[in-house]
Amino acid sequence: MAYSFPEEVLEHVFSFLCSDKDRNAVSLVCKSWYEIERWCRRRIFIGNCYSVTPDIVIRRFPKVRSMEMKGKPHFADFNLVPEGWGAYVYPWISAMSVAYPLLEEIKLKRMVVTDECLELISKSFKSFKVLVLSSCEGFTTDGLASIAANCRNLRELDLKESEVEDLSGHWLSHFPEHCTSLVSLNMSCLGSEVSFSALERLVGRCPNLKTLRLNRAVPLEKLPNLLSRAPQLVELGTGTYSSEVRVDIFSNLSEAFSVCKQLKGLSGLWDAVPAYLPAMYSVCPGLTSLNLSYATIQSPDLSKLVSQCPNLQRLWVLDYIEDSGLEALATSCKDLQELRVFPSDPFGAEPNVSLTEQGLVTVSEGCPKLQSVLYFCRQMSNAALVTIAKNRPNMIRFRLCIIEPQAPDYVTLEPLDTGFGAIVKSCKELRRLSLSGLLTDRVFEYIGTHAKKLEMLSIAFAGDSDLGLHHVLSGCESLRKLEIRDCPFGDKALLANAAKLETMRSLWMSSCSVSYGACKLLGQKMPRLNVEVIDERGPPELRPEICPVEKLYIYRTVAGRRIDMPDFIWTMDEDAALQHS
Amino acid sequence: METLIYVNDLNMKATELRLGLPGTDNESFDAPQSSSSSSCVKNNKRSSSEMNAASLSQQQQQQSDAPAQKAQVVGWPPVRSYRKNHVLINHQKKSSSESDQGLFVKVSMDGAPYLRKIDLKFYNNYFDLLKGLKEMFMNKCNIGVYSEREGYNGSEFVPTYEDKDGDWMLVGDVPWDMFINSCKRLRIMKGSEAKGLELGGTSLQL
């Protein structure tokens, strides 16, 4: 006889499952579990907004409270995706406003959000609590005003590096006086000055405020006013960290920092002036996260600062830190897990700072927990990469950007195949890898052979032939996202590994050698993929079939072809001839 | 049908495909890689006007810029727009908005028989400026290490400048851009007179 738990019991058990993977697994057990699970799933994550439609999601999961979604391909961050590409969130908001009246959280990344969307959100969801817009665009500060004014229980408003049309700072004043629910506010990407007194009052009346990231327009001498009203802050992003050097400002600032005993994360620090750095020394021992990537301070001051932070787990910094500063980091910060070094002068022909591969090697030696690296530099050697690989087999994310495309090992002038090969061989848990420098097909052979846990790979100006791409597509079992630019990869590898593409979220290829004919073939053979050709030169069928396309974006989908494409994108499918509008 | 051919054909180096329109003479990517960044610009048939405009204006500026800037490839290095616009040294912005005339200021050093002139725009930051000053005065002035507490430590030479208000300021306190916009002339002070300008010194003059 079949026996099973009553539905309520199963639902209760399922409520302990948080990860999508677990919930998806549970849904596959049997039909009744599928049914029970779908009615109690509260959080959904959609990695590609075009992989599914709002209707399909709503039909399957009728009681969602939190939705997270991503839109444009990652290379949109570097202007490789043309304006008007898509990722409009409006259809989703519109559908959810009807289907999910109890929706509490919306988190979007690289999507186009309009003021209309924001207004609709603010009016449709009575329990709305969390809005996170990461690298989004399309809205103005008027949209923010709607959110501030209408969301009674707003807990989190995080604009993380979005491009907002800044009409004025008035939006902040729309938070009603009775709003006391804020836990997190990140307005660091905004340009305009907000009313400081409104900000002061808002901060003062929200006792649960844990994260406050100000924008550059908030002057340094006013920072103590805010800190004194929010000594419970855990994450602080300062405004501009520069002012005329005055003893009273310094002592106020110093005193204000000393009251913030819970502070774990510090960011902002625009235009940081060395004179004011000591004011924050009192919080340094407690810091686990420090973002100095907007601070143009030089190596000696940076070294001194990081030496005060022995509990640092995450450091983002400009290359002003130089090798000497990284040495200080390696000595002082034994808990360091993540390091990102950004270039201060990426377009200069000559190096402006003394930051080389040595800095990274030193940190890899001194910081046993280092697992996540983003490093911009101007020279690299196989020897350095081999050493880093040996030191840090626990590396999970390794993104190296050697500024000059196709730069060889500066010592031997050989390709950097061996070095990156050592990385993938040694770092068995590597999930994300970005390559740069001079690389042949050989590095892809190493990657295909060893990088079995690799989920995301970024390639630029690398490889010799289709064999390179073939190694990656046939060897990397866990690959989900592949983005390629300016590589000599063409039709053969793509067509030979067509089935692989259905196991991935997406593939981006731009300035490669994939022909229009191959795209059409792929689109026809793989109905569950959207094969989208992006070409600003005009319709690809006006050119010979062997002509390579400018850009190609391929992703698996159950939504069918897009219906909101601009006139420079064409979907390859059975009706390839009919689609051009 | 066609797929089978491709599967067996993966080792063929002689690909028929070339980047660019057929009938043109561009080298195929199968050629050995010996390109510099500028040939990336040439070989990639990107018709985007943004790209062409950028590379053209770079080439025009290259003659006049002292620290040379290479031709820019779209989206490389992969730095996000927000960083580019707000934090980084932006050669394009600098050279297009200001004239090519340079920002020459007089430099005097105590004890030197005559003054010199330098172009502040030639330097990107304080480190470069101080290095330049040291070289200019033939290492006769030993400028110490700057720190916010003690001014210039370890030497009797202190670089100072006269700002727009006519005040003599210690070099290094304010962000670089603010400095070059307000610096009217430089003076490398020596000896006891220099001590008075250090932060925390008894004769604090700010």
Residue with tokens 């913030």: A260
pLDDT at B15: 43
Closest among A184, A108, A169, A42 to A118, alpha carbons compared: A108
Residue B26 makes CB contacts below 8 A (sequence gap 6+) with B18, B19, B20, B43, B45
pLDDT of residue B43: 35
- pLDDT tens digits, residue range B99-157? 445 678 889 888 888 888 888 888 888 888 888 888 787 666 666 677 766 667 666 77
Question: CA of B34: which chain A residue's CA is closest?
Answer: A406
pLDDT above 60: residue B47 = no
Chain B residue with Cα closest to A491: B6
Q: What is the pLDDT along chain A (581 residues), one digit of tens a residue?
A: 456 778 889 999 999 998 999 999 999 999 999 999 999 999 999 999 999 999 999 999 999 999 999 999 999 999 999 999 999 999 999 999 999 999 999 999 999 999 999 999 999 999 999 999 999 999 999 999 999 999 999 999 999 999 999 898 899 999 999 999 999 999 999 989 999 999 999 999 999 999 999 999 999 999 999 999 999 999 999 999 999 889 999 999 999 999 999 999 999 999 899 999 999 999 999 999 999 999 989 999 999 999 999 999 999 999 999 999 999 999 999 999 999 999 999 988 889 999 999 999 999 999 999 999 999 999 999 999 999 999 999 999 999 999 999 999 999 999 999 999 999 999 999 999 999 999 999 999 999 999 999 999 999 999 999 999 999 999 999 999 999 999 999 999 999 999 999 999 999 999 999 999 999 999 999 999 999 999 999 999 999 999 999 999 999 999 999 999 999 999 998 765 454 44
Strands, E assignment, A23-121? 43-46, 66-70, 105-109
Most confident segment among A120-129, B11-20, B160-169: A120-129
Nearest CA-CA distance, residue A160 and chain B, Å: 11
pLDDT at A369: 98
Q: Which of B36, B45, B76 to mutate to test the interface with A (most CBs of A within 10 A)?
A: B76
Torsion angles phi and psi, residue B189, rounded to 5: -85, 155
pLDDT digits (tens, 9 = 90+) for A277-333: 999 999 999 999 999 999 989 999 999 999 999 999 999 999 999 999 999 999 999
Q: CB contact, 8 Å: A73 with chain B?
A: no
Residue B24 has pLDDT above 80, yes or no: no
In A, minimum Cα distance to B76 occurs at A78
A343 shares contact with chain B (CB less than 8 Å):
yes
How big, in percent rounded to 5, are the helix, strand and coil portions of chain A?
A: 35, 20, 45
A85 contact B CB<8A: no
Task: Locate the chain B residue with the closest alpha carbon to A80.
Answer: B75
Nearest Cα residue in chain A from B30:
A464
DSSP classification of residue A88: B
Q: Is omega for the bond preceding A544 within 30 degrees of 0, making it cis? A: no
Using a cut of 0.80, tell me whether the model's pTM lies above it: no
- ipTM, two decimals: 0.89
Range with the lowest mean pLDDT among A237-251, B38-52, B171-185? B38-52
Eight-state DSSP code of residue A414: -
Q: Cβ of B173 and A275 within 8 Å?
A: yes
Q: Which long-range contacts (CB under 8 A, 24 or more apart) does B92-98 make?
A: B92/A347, B92/B54, B92/B57, B92/B58, B92/B61, B94/B121, B95/B61, B95/B64, B95/B65, B96/B57, B96/B61
Selected for mutation to probe chain B from A72, A77, A78 (highest B CB count within 10 Å) is A78
| Cβ pair B17:A513 closer than 8 A | yes
| Whole-angstrom distance, CA of residue A261 vs CA of residue A282 | 9
Q: Is A274 on the interface with B (CB under 8 A)?
A: yes
Q: Which of A80, A405, A466 sits opposite B37 (nearest CB)?
A: A405
User: Does any CB of chain B come closer than 8 Å to the CB of residue A149?
Assistant: no
Q: Are A333 and A356 in contact (CB under 8 A)?
A: no
Q: Do A546 and B125 touch (CB under 8 A)?
A: no
Q: Which of A349, A495, A525 sits opposite B68 (nearest CB)?
A: A349
Cβ-Cβ contacts under 8 Å for A72 (sequence gap 6 or more): A81, A85, A86, A87, A110, A111
Q: Does residue A37 sit at the B interface (CB-CB below 8 Å)?
A: no
- In this complex, which of B17, B80, B91 lies closest to A515 when CB atoms are compared? B17
For the stretch B72-105, pLDDT in tens is 788 999 999 888 877 666 554 444 444 445 678 8
Q: Which residues of A touch B48 (CB under 8 A)?
A: 536
* Band (B37; pLDDT cuts 50, 70, 90): very low
Contact call for A273 and B174, based on CB within 8 A: yes
Residues 98-117 of A with CB under 8 A from B: none
Phi, psi of B91 (to 5 degrees): -60, -40
d(CA A176, CA A190): 21
**Chain A residues close to B44, C-beta within 8 Å:** 486, 511
Q: Would you tell me how many other CB atoms lie within 10 Å of the CB of residue B124? A: 19
Burial of residue A16 (CB within 10 Å: 0-12, 13-18, 19+) is exposed
Residue B195 has pLDDT above 70, yes or no: no
Interface contact A493, partner B, CB < 8 A? yes
Residue B44 has pLDDT above 70, yes or no: no
SS3 readout for A235-292: EEECCECCCCCCHHHHHHHHHHHHHCCCCCEEECCECCCHHHHHHHHHHHHHCCEEEE
pLDDT of residue B139: 62
Give the model's pLDDT for residue A136: 97
User: Rounded to whole angstroms, how far apart are CA atoms B90 and B84?
Assistant: 7
pLDDT above 70 as % of chain A: 98
Best of A492, A515, A524 to substitute, by most chain B Cβ atoms within 10 angstroms, is A492
**A432-434 vs A456-460, strand pairing mode:** parallel
Which pair of tokens denotes residue A75? 């290379």
- Separation in Å, CA of A406 to nearest CA in chain B: 7
